[in-house]
Amino acid sequence: MALVAAEASYTYAAGTQYASDALSDVTLSLEVGELVLVVGETGSGKSTLLRVLAGLLDPSSGSVTVDGLAPGDGAARGRTGLVFQNPESQFFAETVLDDVAFGPRNLGQSDPPYSAQQALRAVGLDPDVFGARSPFTLSGGEARRAAIAGVLAFEPRYLLLDEPTAGLDRPSRDAVLSVVKDARAQAGVLVVTHDPEQFLQDAQAVVVLFRGTQVFSGAPSGLLTDPGPYLKAGMQLPDVIRAQLVARERGAQLAGISFDPEEAARKLLQARRGAR
């Protein structure tokens, strides 16, 4: 059971003079409980990949399957939930509760208001405080969280988040990070980001896109063994990693490289003691 892209490609305006290959032969799989990151610079095809995975765009070649089903199959409805980039620009209902309840209502699920309340709680918004408000009166961070709640509410098995922390202040970003953590109890989560530092530590896999092609795919530790593709794709290794690589270059005998600053500091101190 997984959300799978197999050599999926997508060309916008195919067959016209404006044709543009946004995605070429991307292969990935997302299982329940996993966190997969998709990284790459602006225009590398990240949002296109999410639209293809969510079944909003049909791949020009290759395939996407949801638990073995075509995304358009009735039985696949509601299994994948996509939170768009800047989702807060897409509110339409008069109240936050109505907006969040739209998904479960649209899918004919049993108690949309209840699901909406649960989802608001999951993103740290008290439904008694925020439920009756107009979504257009929310702060940036609250709005982002409410938009994420709108997808959590129908309990997708595969949750796709397009730049969920971009432009958020620290408290809202932390709230989104904890939503991602909690969601993995019931869902596979795929996060698109050009600032992967905050997620790398928890991710099972990273897919690096460069001009629509997959230049790396594998465990985050693979990026440490050979950061070449990552750097070529316009990405920068997290500071904590760079510090350890520099220390190693200068002779520190590090027992492994860590994504966690505290663990990294411990290893650096150990190496220093060992060198004495």
Shortest distance (Å) from residue 192 CB to Mg ion: 7
Q: Is 164 in the site for ligand ADP (CB under 6 A)?
A: no
Q: Is 44 in the site for Mg ion (CB under 5 A)?
A: no
Q: Is 115 in the site for Mg ion (CB under 5 A)?
A: no
Among 9, 11, 24, 44, binds ligand ADP (CB under 6 A): 44
Q: Is 20 in the site for ligand ADP (CB under 6 A)?
A: yes
What is the distance between the alpha carbons of residues 70 and 60, in angstroms, rounded to a whole number? 14
CB 97 within 8 A of CB 135: no
Among 47, 80, 172, 258, binds Mg ion (CB under 5 A): 47
What is the distance between the alpha carbons of residues 5 and 140, in angstroms, rounded to a whole number? 33
**Which residues, in sequence order, are CB contacts of 269 under 8 Å at separation 6+?**
none
Angle at 77 between CA 183 and CA 152, to 5 degrees: 25
Residue 105 phi/psi, 5-degree rounding, is -65, -45
Six-digit token string for 41:
């610079």
Shortest distance (Å) from residue 159 CB to ligand ADP: 17
Torsion over CA: 263, 30, 41, 228 (sign): positive
Q: Is 167 in the site for ligand ADP (CB under 6 A)?
A: no
Q: Is 48 in the site for ligand ADP (CB under 6 A)?
A: yes
Six-digit token string for 275:
């060198």
CB 137 within 8 A of CB 145: no
* CA-closest candidate to residue 91, choices 164, 143, 163: 143
Residue number with CB closer to ligand ADP (46 or 144): 46
Among 46, 145, 157, 173, binds ligand ADP (CB under 6 A): 46
Shortest distance (Å) from residue 210 CB to ligand ADP: 10
Shortest distance (Å) from residue 203 CB to ligand ADP: 18
What is the distance between the alpha carbons of residues 228 and 26, in angstroms, rounded to a whole number? 19
CB 76 within 8 A of CB 156: no
Q: Is 172 in the site for ligand ADP (CB under 6 A)?
A: no
Shortest distance (Å) from residue 181 CB to Mg ion: 23
Q: Is 102 in the site for ligand ADP (CB under 6 A)?
A: no
Which residues from 190-209 bind Mg ion, rule CB under 5 A? Answer: none
Q: Is 11 in the site for ligand ADP (CB under 6 A)?
A: no
Residue number with CB closer to ligand ADP (142 or 163): 163
Which residues make up the interface to ligand ADP (CB under 6 A)? 12-13, 20, 22, 40, 42-48
Which residues make up the interface to Mg ion (CB under 5 A)? 46-47
